[in-house]
A and B are shown apart, each in its own frame.
Chain A
Amino acid sequence: MNLFTAINEGMRTAMQTDPTAITFGEDVAFGGVFRCSVGLREEFGADRVFNTPLCEQGIAGFGIGYAAMGGTAIAEIQFADYIFPAFDQLVNEAAKFRYRSGNQWNCGGLTVRTPCGAVGHGGHYHSQSPEAYFTHTPGLKVVMPRGPVDAKGLLLASIRSPDPVIFMEPKVLYRAAVEDVPDEDYEIELGKGEIMRQGTDVTVVGWGGQLRVLEKACDLAEQNGISCELIDLKTLAPWDVEIVTESVMKTGKLVVSHEAPLTGGFAAEISSTIQEECFLSLEAPVQRVCGADTPFPLVFEKYYVPDDLKNFEAIKKVMNY
């Protein structure tokens, strides 16, 4: 099963088990541009699966209102690049509803799904990874799966989470990633990372689609006799501080990689925390291997993205420090 089918399965399970669950967004009734909602309208009816006008701010506000009344709202923003018109609704209305109402109201039933990341030819407005904007907002949870099995389990946990969740789907994996996904209803706990491969020399941290790149970088390192411990964070807010600190205490070296631009990216947060928590264990400066501090360039995408070679270089650098 590929990633978009796993997302589809996740939404189907959520809607079968929760009669208040609805899904809506631009063209979702026809299956959505990435086919994630295909067949849902036929199964659950046009009252529960419907198209919205092209208005992201309205979509987000609408979802918050529905969730505030106890409903489960699964909203789709067609591309993460289009989430910015909804930024105010998500940051000011959704994230703070519980806090500002003294726990009288909340919109925990809201999950905003949105495809993110580079895909080879997306250019400025179909390639961005805006996760760090949302991790800077207490009250929101931010999740990004690395493959189909995680996607279904994390999506179900997000939809059922009592807090609003921004669920980012690496669009490069929609068709490319194939795994055996269990048929049953299962959840993967939010806020918990996973050690994908154990190692002793360097800790390498990433999330979402970037993990495929990091696996390749780790392979290159292994061929050169460097043992890497690769960690998938899965949830960025709240992120699993413990799993990373424990690993760095062991390896003494850390490389963090994401596609979003370097400055102010989520790697900065990880780097800073590790510096605070593991100062005496660190044997080399923490390396951030990230996108360039430029808009996302169509023709230069290959140079812009933090590929396996750049990550391999960073791994070598911390080894030789």
Chain B
Amino acid sequence: METPVIRVKNLKKYFRVAQKGEGFGAAVASLFRREYREVKAVDGIDFDIHAGEMVAFLGPNGAGKTTTLKMLSGILQPTSGEASVLGFNPQERNPEFQRQISLVMGQRNQLWWNLPATDTFLLNKDIYKVPLDQYRLILDELVELLDLQDVLSSPVRKLSLGQRMKCELVASLLHRPKVVFLDEPTIGLDLAMQKKIRAFLKEYNKKYNATIILTSHYMDDVKEVCDRVILINHGRKIYDDQIKKLISEYAHEKYLQVDFENEVSKEALEGIGKVVEFGGLQAVIAVPRAEHAKKAAELLTRFEIDNIDIQEVELEDIILKSFADHV
């Protein structure tokens, strides 16, 4: 079997955080005696990721997602455990390793603020030792894919958030990294821009067989970009499998969204399934996944129906359910 490009074994990162009570007295007391609390940001996680996989790394705030990405990219040293990326130990920060990875951070900027983005691109070309002809080729391709022709000569400070994010992606991908870590790449962007970036990431993965690990609070990023999901909570892995499998495991129901010709009573609908939303002429009914077709047919025979939609449970709900099960 193919060797994984990322291998993580019992990886841990504990932080020592100074504690201070409320008010001025506690501040004075802390000058003489400071207490510390150990925070287990990542607490023994294991996983393997193979070349070309697109993996979503999900969890609530403070779950340990970003800390894991930082350890895998070599920014942060683990407390214990093993991590290997492309055969390298990230904490050694080997230049050969650094030339093959990238970390795109939605809330951190690498572009030079007062200069056009092309100047940062040139700097990255030198840092990653990309030959000039190859640089031109990659830049042209990325600029076209992200539709950036018109903004390249404006200072970064004059660009919109979406334009800046697209320039960040170009700066991070100029050296064609084999492994791309993305931390909230679409945060703060409008829907159209989010869609463009998702399409771009899929295209990049397909074209270069790049491994993509993504954290995001937008489930559309996860659904549209990733095939596999790793759920993490309190620094521990609680789920790791294909998104489809997660849905089938946790989504035991489907939703029937119905528009009626005439008003119906809620009680009449309760015989079909669990009424989730009700408005007289409209209703959403949760029915067992295996019986949804039968239940839809029953609705059609028993009521005068204007329209009926069969909907999957939202990924957000599935993930929340999964977290709830593991607490």
Partners in one complex: no
Residues in B lying within 8 Å of A, measured CB to CB: none
